[in-house]
Structure 1
Amino acid sequence: MKLQVNIQILHLSFLALLFFTLLLNTTLSSATYAATLSLLSAYLHLSLSCTICAFITIFYYLYTRPRQVFLLNYACYKPPTHRKCSYQVAENFVLQKGHFPQKTLDFMRNIYLNSGLGDETYGPPFIFEKEGVPTLNYAMQEAEEGIFSSIDALLSKTLVDPESIDIVIVTSGGFSPTPSLSSLIVNHYKLKPEVKTYNLSGMGCSSGVMSMDLAARILRGSRKVQNVLVVITESITLNWYSGDSRPMLVTNCIFRVGCAASMITNDPSHRRIAKMELVDSLRTHHGADDSAYKAAFQEEDDNGNNGISLTKDLIRVAAMNLREHIKIFAPRVLPLSQIVHYAYSVVAAKIAGDESKPVVPDFMAAFEHMCIHTGGKAVIENIARVLKLDDEVSEPARMTLNRFGNTSSSLVLYELAYFEAKERVKMGDRMWMLAFGTGFKVGSLVWKWLQDSRQEFDNPWNDCIQSYPFKAW
């Protein structure tokens, strides 16, 4: 922070010096100007010192200013067709392998039918095998299929040499094997020995946004690091719950297989081919509040079965913490007219003694598009309610949930692919990515599109985009 303040001071000093020089040049008469030059010549040392200081200031500012960060490209994993997990497939597996009592089956059936998921989502490998047991081997198979497929597609599109990858960031909330998933990538792609690796875990659905923000923070302040590979995945296999706790059974019904990879860079030569530039980001952590901390919680049930409990309080917590997040985020992105309108509503409510909440700013005045958290039907509806979004804005989230289910941390990139498949984004458009995660965390990324969106060969929506959107929910 201190460095940023010093840079700003130097920048202002340089601008003041430049302004003063131009002012002298335009206001002094030619005779006076000649006399001034004569005076400066008499004080040659002073003139040279001022010139050198100006050049040093310019150089220091250019060298130390934060670097621009670009999303070069991304790729989403699309499992093979035989891994589609329709309602019928899911029900057959639970009936044959689950050993659940009837009341538990009825509960899961009700959750599934009201979840917003369609019949085209994808399940993990183990549910299609004869034994149907979620083992470590099946978890590794699930991870390897998604990671290698998405990275292969990404490298083929970006033409980035694996040797030029400086950092690997892998996020997987509930699966952290040894060696790590980042080591798996280093081994498989034979990355250089000096590559740096990071593994993020336990961060839930927000970790996709968080990992891209981490990459950007590293890239903004570095001249040695240029390319960061971000891999966003989750393990459905080892998060399968076989007990009878209702808050833990929800994960069986809504989470599906998904993985995505992205290449983040600060190389200015890549600007002309990059998809987007990251212009702002915000992460807020609300874990100091007990209800927020325990809203989504991994624990054992009374019989010792591991599971992730999604409590009924989760929706309330998400809405409350989204409002807190917006209080910080809104002044940074909204136009002045919206900020003034909001401030006026707050003051007016207090003067009138009105207990009603202030007006919600119109975020569509700041963004052309939104990738909002696709955590579930109730979550999407609650975000739309809090932000006063119409169905057109929430459409990509609703359709992504229907087509791919809750893929956890990678969900925002599947939603991004929807925008591209529809070719709705134009150069210069601004997009807000918003995601929630266990802890409880809220993350926002603000992107500026550097080119018109286009449907690429590996877009996961290629075979079905004509069927979307549909009105049924």
Structure 2
Amino acid sequence: MRGIYRKSGLGDETYVPPFIFNSNVESTLDYAVQEAEEGMFSSVDSVFNKTKLDPQQIDVLIVTSGTFTSVPSLTSILVNRYNLRPDVKTFNLSGMGCSSGVLCVDLAGNVLRGCTKSKYALVVITESISLNWYFGDDRSMLVTNCIFRVGCAAAIITNDPSQRRFSKMELVNSLRTHHGADNSAYKAAFQKEDEFGNLGISLTKDLIRVAGANLRDHIRLLAPRVLPLSQLALYAYSVIQSVLSQGELKPIVPDFTTAFDHICIHTGGKAVIEQVGGVLKLGEEVTEPARMSLHRFGNTSSSLVFYELAYFEAKGRVKRGDKMWMLAFGTGFKVCSIVFKSLRDSPNNHDEIEMDNPWRDCIHRYPTNTW
């Protein structure tokens, strides 16, 4: 584990469940629930405080946790905690991996578009790694211990036009692709027991190849929706050349930096960031937020791209009208994208950084050269 960790790109300030610091390391359901509740309650408290909404105004509640599900469900825990209305529509997602945070925003948008009576959706994106701590010695399953860390995010999504002047961003596009029909993609990240009965999640050596191949399929569908005409023309021409050459010439990869001002790419690990950067031909300045988020917070699963958004905001880089692409991978294997348009500038000095921004106490130290 030490060898894997030293190559992981993680720093020394990431967060793990408290049981790891005990002399007798043992994960329990109590630790898992504590981990989930602390993240959810603090995030939801913060978002209610910032938006000045009454919990009774929430029409839709969506909670996702990639690998943890409780009884009662995580949505029920929040309904009980915040005394939400009896008619609130709840969606409890699990088993969908790191893409589920992006997926939840897409789901909230679709629910609000299809229901004119609902105005506010509360989205809570968390993970509980306590019950997925692996106690065996299978290398493919030890990787999760080394890179997955504690994290949570929450947001209010609304379809009320009167709230536009108070809103931070507008959801302008989304795309979800599922590649589970391919067996290698389906088993690239898989929860199972090792030969001694120890439960864990295996990340196979094929995962990086699967991520690259399925990302290429995903961007073929995304490109026509988001790219400027000049890039689409170049891409179409390269596809024609590839067909005429019977595959000897490969289609070019469009320059997605012409469509987006900021990109939050999947912070799945050092190799994943390098693979995505390679496939999309992104320079280090574009992958910086992903690399720094991995260093500071580790792989926080479904909430990871929102830590990157917070990085952009803490650096004062987001301007009104900027477009942001969030790209995340999930088990199964899924690739999910959402595109936001910023409706306001982010603060441009440290004193104005929002109090709940997770980078507030450390942004002056980033970017770091130790990644």
* 1:27 match: none
CA distance in 1, matches of 2:130, 2:208: 25
Q: 1:148 aligns with which of 24, 36, 41?
A: 41
Q: Report what 1:193 is aligned to.
A: 86
Partner of 2:138: 245
Residue of structure 1 in register with 2:357 after alignment = 459
Q: CA separation in 2, counterparts of 1:150 and 1:353?
A: 53
CA contact (8 A) 2:29 2:131 kept: yes
Shift of 1:413: 0.7
Q: Report the CA distance between 1:355 and its aligned residue.
A: 1.6
SS of the equivalent of 1:381 reads helix
Q: How does 1:4-403 map to 2 (within 5 A)?
A: 108-353=1-246, 355-403=248-296
- Please state whether the residue corresponding to 2:310 is helix, strand or coil: helix
**Structure 2 residue runs without a partner (length 5+):** 348-352
Quote the offset at 1:129 in angstroms: 3.2
Q: CA deviation at 1:349?
A: 3.2
The match for 2:312 among 419, 426, 440 is 419
Residue matched to 1:471: 369
SS class of match (2:173): strand
Identity among equivalent positions (%) equals 69
Alpha carbons 1:258, 1:407 under 8 Å: kept? yes
Letter in 1 for 2:267: T
Residue 256 of structure 1 aligns to a residue in which SS?
coil
Q: Give per-residue Cα distances to partners, 1:297-333, cap 9 Å, x unaligned.
A: 0011111111100000000000000000011000111
The answer for the alignment partner of 1:80 in structure 2 is none
User: 1:377-413 CA distances to partner (integer Å, 9 max, x unpaired)?
Assistant: 0000000000000011100000000000000000011
TM-score calculated relative to the size of structure 2: 0.97
Moved over 4 A (4+): none
Alpha-carbon distance in 2 for matches of 1:178, 1:159 = 30
> In structure 1, how many angstroms separate the alpha carbons of the residues matched to 2:108 and 2:245?
47
How far, CA to CA, are the matches of 1:173 and 1:351 in structure 2? 44
How far has the Cα of 1:429 moved from its partner? Answer: 0.5
State the secondary structure of the residue aligned to 1:271. helix
Contact 1:125–1:141 (CA<8 Å) still a contact in 2?
Answer: no
CA distance in 1 between counterparts of 2:34 and 2:236 reads 53
Q: Which runs of 5+ in 1 are unaligned?
A: 1-107
Tell me the TM-score normalized by structure 1: 0.76
Report if the CA contact (8 A) 2:241-2:249 is conserved: no
Q: 1:286, 1:316 → 2: CA distance?
A: 13
Distance 1:230 1:430 in 2: 21
What CA distance in whole angstroms lies between the structure 2 residues aligned with 1:131 and 1:228? 41
The DSSP-based 3-state class of the residue aligned with 1:297 is: strand
One-letter code aligned to 2:262: H
Distance 1:206 1:271 in 2: 27
Deviates most, 310-319 or 191-200: 191-200
Using the TM superposition, give the Cα deviation of residue 109 of structure 1 relative to its aligned residue in structure 2, in angstroms.
1.3
Give the letter for the 1:458 counterpart.
D
SS of 2:165's equivalent? coil
Q: Which residue of the partner structure matches residue 439 of structure 1?
A: 332
- 1:247-304 Cα distance to aligned partner (Å, 9 max, x none): 1111010000101111111111110010100011000000000000000000111111
Number of aligned residue pairs: give it: 366
Partner of residue 350, structure 2: none
Relative to its length, the structure with more helix (as a share) is 1
Preserved CA contact (<8 Å) 1:287 1:293? yes
1:354 deviates by 5.5
Q: Aligned AA for 1:463?
A: D
